[in-house]
C-alpha cells in the first residue's frame, strides 16, 4: 500500500528508496523514522533552515523561497503532427507556429517559460527519439524538421519511439521512455552563487527553428511512439539519482542536493500528452505515477513527486495517471490558449503564500513569518482592555488570545472609560453618596449602599426604603418584621418580633412560662404542670382530675377516686355514696360530700379566674 503524501517531503533516517523496495515486492515499504521538517537541523545538518533572526526582519530581508521543480514532459509522438481544428478550420496559435498540435504545444510551453522562468525551476523532456543521423536546417509545416532518427538499442521496444526496456520487470518499471532535453535549473540557495538561468536554453527547444546546434537538433520533434510509463519511470530516475540517455551520449544529475535542501520544496512532473499509453499496459503508467508519489530518499529527506496530466483534446483520457500521481484528474486542453491556461494553473498552485499554521508554506526556511506571532496584543478598549499575544487562529491568520473584560457604568470625573465605548466619563452621572455607584444607577443615590440591596425589588434600595419588605407596613410604623413581609403582624409569643422573622418561634399562649408544645394545659396558666390521673390533660384543665369517670362538677370527691362513686367494686367499704351501699347516711358521709363539693367549687373558681387573666393578657 502506498502512503499518500500530504507534505512535499519529510525527513527520514532511512536511506532506501521506494523503487528498489517495490522491486523487492513491497513497494514503498521499509521502516523509517519520520520527524518534523522543522527539527531537521538538529538531526540532519544537511537540511538548511533560515536563521530565526532573519525571519523576524522586514519582508525584503526574508530568505527567498526554495523554487518548485517542474519537469514538463511533452508528447513528441507522431500523433502531435495532426492539425488543431475547430468548426472544420485550422486554429492558429499566438506564436505564429504551425497549426498542428506540436505547434500549439511549443507555443504554450514558450509562453509558460517566459512567464514563470524566474519563479519556478523548469526542465523539459520529450519522448525517447533515439540517435539523430541527419537533419534539415528548417522546420516544416508540421513543426518538424527532416531528421533521420535511429531508435535506441536495448530490446523490448514494441515499436519505434518507445524507448528500450533492458530487463523485464513488473509494470514495465525498467522502461526508458524519456529524453531529458533541458535539465531543471538547480536552485542552489544553500551553496551560492546561484546557478545561471536555463530560460534561454528552454526557449531554444520551442522556437520553431530546427537547425542543429552542436550536432543536436534543439527542437521538440513529433515522431515515434507514446511511452507514458517510460517517461514517468525516467522522471523518477532523474529526480532520485540522475538520468542518462540509453546510448550514454547525454546525462544530467538530479537537481536535488544531498546537503542543504529544504524538505518543503515542491517536486512536480507535468505530462502533456495527446493520447493514452501506447508502449506498455495503461496500468503501467498509473503505477509509475504512484511510484513517483511514494517517492524516494535523498540526502536524509523523503521526497514525493506529484504528477499532473494535461490531455491535448476536448476530453481528458488519463485521469487514472493523475489520480495515482496525487493530482486528482487530468486537465483537457484543445489549443494553445487552453494549454497555456492549464500550465499556469498548475504552476501557480505551487507558489503558495505563507499562512499562520506552524508550517513553512512558502518554503523559505521561515515559519509563519509576517504574522507577528508571539507579539504582544490587546483586546477591548478602556477599562475592558486586556493583554495577550498573537497566535494562529486556525484559519491561516492570527488572533489575539486576550479576552476583554466586561463594561461597567461610567463614573464622572475619574477619566476611566468604564463602559468601554472609547470615551471616558461619557454618559455618566454624579455619585452624591460616594458609594462608588453613579447616581444614575444607584438605588439609593443619597444613602451609601455599595451592595445595592433591594429586598422587595421595587427599585428603591433597602438602605433608603421606608418599607424594605414591601408588606405595606413601614418600618417606622412598627413593622415587627421590617425585612420580611408580615402583613398580619402575627406574634404568637408576644415578644415584639413577628412570627415571620422570629428566630425563637416557641409559642406560650397562656404565658405560664411553658411552651404550648410542652404545656399540659396550653390555654390555662399552670406553671406546676400537675396531672393527677396521668392522662396528659393537666389538673388545671382536666374535666375529671382523678380519672374515676365522674366529671369534677358531679364528683363528691374529685381529687380521690376511692371516695367517689363509683368506687372500685373491690373496695365496698370505701364507697361512701354508692346508692344502696348503706341503709342510711351518717354525719361523716355528709361531711365528706360537703367537703368534696367545696373543693370542686373552689377549683372551678380558680380555673375561671385564670382563664380571665389569660384573656386580659392577650388583649
Q: What is the pLDDT of residues 132-164, one digit of tens each?
A: 766 666 677 776 766 666 777 665 445 567 889
- Which domain range does residue 594 map to? 539-618
Place 46 in a pLDDT band, splitting at 50, 70 and 90.
low
Q: Which of 299, 320, 349 corresponds to the end of one domain?
A: 349
Per the structure, how many domains does the chain have?
Answer: 2
Nearest residue to 124 (alpha-carbon basis) of 199, 209, 233: 199
Does residue 582 have a pLDDT over 80? no
Q: How far apart are CA 527 and CA 259, in angstroms?
A: 110
Is residue 241 one of the residues assigned to a domain? yes
307, 266 Cβ separation under 8 angstroms? no
Q: How far apart are CA 151 and CA 130, in angstroms?
A: 4
Place 232 in a pLDDT band, splitting at 50, 70 and 90.
very high
Higher pLDDT, 9 or 241: 241
Is residue 284 one of the residues assigned to a domain? yes
Is residue 98 one of the residues assigned to a domain? yes
> Tens digit of pLDDT for each residue in 446-493?
899 888 988 888 989 888 988 998 889 898 888 888 888 988 888 877
Q: What would the mean pLDDT of 367-382 be, rounded to a whole number?
A: 92
Identify the bridge partners of residue 126 per DSSP, sorted by sequence position: 74, 179
Q: What would the mean pLDDT of 65-72 be, rounded to a whole number?
A: 97
Place 305 in a pLDDT band, splitting at 50, 70 and 90.
very high
Q: How far apart are CA 529 and CA 116, in angstroms?
A: 115
Is residue 383 one of the residues assigned to a domain? no
pLDDT value of residue 110? 98
pLDDT value of residue 55? 86
pLDDT value of residue 11? 47
Q: How far apart are CA 183 and CA 234, in angstroms?
A: 13
Does residue 272 have a pLDDT over 80? yes
Is residue 30 one of the residues assigned to a domain? yes
* DSSP count for the chain of H helices, then E strands: 10, 21
Does residue 494 have a pLDDT over 60? yes
> To the nearest whole number, what is the mean pLDDT of the chain?
80
Is residue 253 one of the residues assigned to a domain? yes
Is residue 368 one of the residues assigned to a domain? no
> Tens digit of pLDDT for each residue in 206-217?
998 877 666 667
Does residue 49 have a pLDDT over 90? no
Q: What would the mean pLDDT of 186-198 be, rounded to a whole number?
A: 94
> Tens digit of pLDDT for each residue in 317-361?
999 999 999 999 999 999 999 999 999 999 999 999 999 999 999
pTM of the predicted protein model: 0.62
pLDDT value of residue 146? 67
Query: Please, which residues have CB within 8 angstroms of residue 74's CB and are 6 or more apart in sequence?
Result: 105, 109, 124, 125, 126, 127, 220, 272
Is residue 403 one of the residues assigned to a domain? no
Where do the DSSP E strands lie in 285-365?
A: 296-298, 301-303, 306-312, 331-333
Pick the range with the lowest mean pLDDT from 108-112, 200-204, 225-229, 584-588.
584-588
Q: What would the mean pLDDT of 68-74 be, rounded to a whole number?
A: 98
Q: What's the residue count for the chain?
A: 619
DSSP letter for each residue of 48-65: ----HHHHTS-GGGSPPP
Higher pLDDT, 578 or 542: 542
Does residue 579 have a pLDDT over 90? no
What percent of the chain has a predicted confidence (pLDDT) above 70? 76
Pick the range with the lowest mean pLDDT from 271-285, 304-318, 488-502.
488-502
pLDDT value of residue 217? 75
371, 397 Cβ separation under 8 angstroms? yes
Pick the range with the lowest mean pLDDT from 242-246, 384-388, 520-524, 599-603.
599-603
Does residue 286 have a pLDDT over 80? yes
pLDDT value of residue 33? 30
> Tens digit of pLDDT for each residue in 472-482?
989 888 888 88
What percent of the chain has a predicted confidence (pLDDT) above 90? 44
Q: What would the mean pLDDT of 176-197 be, rounded to a whole number?
A: 94
CATH classification at residue 226: 3.40.50.410
Query: Please, which residues have CB within 8 angstroms of residue 222's CB and are 6 or more apart in sequence?
Result: 76, 77, 78, 79, 80, 81, 100, 101, 102, 142, 143, 144
User: Which residue has 538530479 as its cell numbers?
Assistant: 254
Q: Which of 297, 325, 349 corresponds to the end of one domain?
A: 349
Query: What 3 state SS string does 454-480 have?
Result: CCCCCCCCHHHCCCCCCCCCCHHHCCC
Higher pLDDT, 560 or 258: 258
Q: What would the mean pLDDT of 167-186 be, rounded to a whole number?
A: 93
Q: Which of 349, 382, 411 corresponds to the end of one domain?
A: 349
Sheet strand arrangement including 9-12: 34-35, 9-12, 301-303, 296-298
Place 558 in a pLDDT band, splitting at 50, 70 and 90.
confident
Amino acid at each position: 500500500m502506498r502512503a499518500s503524501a500530504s507534505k512535499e517531503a519529510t525527513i527520514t533516517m532511512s536511506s532506501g528508496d521506494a523503487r528498489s523496495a517495490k522491486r523487492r515486492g513491497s513497494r514503498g515499504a521499509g521502516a523509517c523514522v519520520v520527524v518534523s521538517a522543522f527539527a531537521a537541523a538538529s538531526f540532519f545538518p544537511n537540511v538548511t533552515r533560515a536563521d530565526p533572526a532573519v525571519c523576524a526582519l522586514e519582508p525584503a530581508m526574508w530568505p527567498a523561497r526554495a523554487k518548485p521543480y517542474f519537469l514538463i514532459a511533452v508528447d513528441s509522438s507522431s500523433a502531435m503532427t495532426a492539425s488543431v481544428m475547430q468548426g472544420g478550420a485550422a486554429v492558429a496559435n499566438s506564436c505564429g507556429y504551425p497549426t498542428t498540435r506540436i505547434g500549439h504545444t511549443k507555443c504554450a510551453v514558450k509562453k509558460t517559460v517566459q512567464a514563470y522562468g524566474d519563479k519556478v525551476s523548469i526542465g523539459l523532456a520529450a519522448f525517447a527519439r533515439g540517435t539523430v543521423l541527419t537533419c534539415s536546417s528548417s522546420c516544416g509545416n508540421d513543426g518538424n524538421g527532416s531528421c533521420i532518427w535511429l531508435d535506441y538499442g536495448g530490446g523490448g521496444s514494441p515499436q519505434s519511439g518507445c524507448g528500450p526496456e533492458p530487463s523485464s520487470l513488473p509494470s514495465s518499471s525498467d522502461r526508458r521512455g524519456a529524453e531529458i532535453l533541458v535539465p531543471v535549473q538547480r536552485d542552489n540557495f544553500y551553496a551560492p552563487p546561484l546557478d545561471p538561468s536555463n530560460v534561454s536554453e528552454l526557449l531554444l527547444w520551442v522556437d520553431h527553428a530546427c537547425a542543429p546546434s552542436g550536432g543536436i537538433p534543439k527542437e521538440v520533434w513529433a515522431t515515434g511512439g507514446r511511452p507514458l510509463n517510460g517517461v514517468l519511470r525516467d522522471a523518477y530516475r532523474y529526480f532520485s539519482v540522475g538520468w542518462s540517455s540509453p546510448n550514454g551520449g547525454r546525462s544530467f544529475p538530479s537537481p536535488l542536493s544531498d546537503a542543504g535542501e529544504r524538505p518543503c520544496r515542491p517536486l512536480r512532473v507535468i505530462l502533456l500528452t495527446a493520447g493514452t499509453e501506447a508502449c506498455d499496459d495503461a496500468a503501467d503508467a498509473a503505477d509509475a505515477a504512484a511510484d513517483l508519489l511514494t517517492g524516494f530518499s535523498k540526502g536524509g529527506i523523503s521526497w514525493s513527486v506529484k504528477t499532473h496530466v494535461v490531455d491535448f483534446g476536448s476530453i481528458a483520457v488519463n485521469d487514472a495517471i493523475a489520480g495515482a500521481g496525487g493530482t486528482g484528474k487530468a486537465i483537457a486542453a484543445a489549443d494553445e490558449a487552453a494549454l497555456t491556461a492549464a500550465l499556469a494553473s498548475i504552476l501557480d498552485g505551487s507558489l503558495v503564500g505563507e499562512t499562520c499554521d506552524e508550517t513553512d508554506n512558502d518554503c523559505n526556511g521561515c515559519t509563519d513569518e509576517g504574522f507577528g506571532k508571539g507579539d504582544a496584543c490587546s483586546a477591548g478598549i478602556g477599562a475592558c482592555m486586556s493583554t495577550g499575544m498573537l497566535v494562529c487562529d486556525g484559519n491561516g491568520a492570527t488572533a489575539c488570545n486576550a479576552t476583554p473584560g466586561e463594561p461597567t457604568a461610567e463614573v464622572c470625573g475619574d477619566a476611566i472609560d468604564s463602559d468601554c465605548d472609547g470615551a471616558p466619563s461619557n454618559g455618566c452621572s454624579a455619585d452624591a453618596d460616594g458609594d462608588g455607584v453613579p447616581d444614575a444607577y444607584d438605588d439609593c443615590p443619597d444613602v451609601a449602599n455599595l451592595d445595592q440591596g433591594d429586598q422587595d425589588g421595587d427599585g428603591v434600595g433597602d438602605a433608603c426604603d421606608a418599607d424594605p419588605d414591601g408588606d405595606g407596613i413601614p418600618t417606622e410604623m412598627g413593622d415587627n418584621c421590617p425585612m420580611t413581609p408580615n402583613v398580619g403582624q402575627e406574634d404568637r409569643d408576644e415578644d415584639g418580633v413577628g412570627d415571620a422573622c422570629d428566630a425563637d418561634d416557641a409559642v406560650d399562649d397562656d404565658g405560664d412560662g411553658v411552651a404550648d408544645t410542652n404545656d399540659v394545659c396550653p390555654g390555662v396558666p399552670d406553671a406546676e404542670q400537675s396531672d393527677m390521673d396521668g392522662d396528659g390533660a393537666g389538673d388545671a384543665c382536666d374535666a375529671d382530675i382523678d380519672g374515676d369517670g365522674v366529671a369534677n362538677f358531679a364528683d363528691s370527691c374529685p381529687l380521690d377516686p376511692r371516695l367517689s362513686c363509683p368506687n372500685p367494686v373491690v373496695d365496698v367499704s370505701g364507697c361512701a355514696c354508692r346508692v344502696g351501699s348503706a341503709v342510711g347516711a351518717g354525719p361523716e358521709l355528709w361531711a365528706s360530700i360537703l367537703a368534696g363539693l367545696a373543693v370542686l367549687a373552689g377549683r372551678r373558681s380558680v380555673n375561671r379566674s385564670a382563664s380571665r387573666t389569660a384573656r386580659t393578657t392577650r388583649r
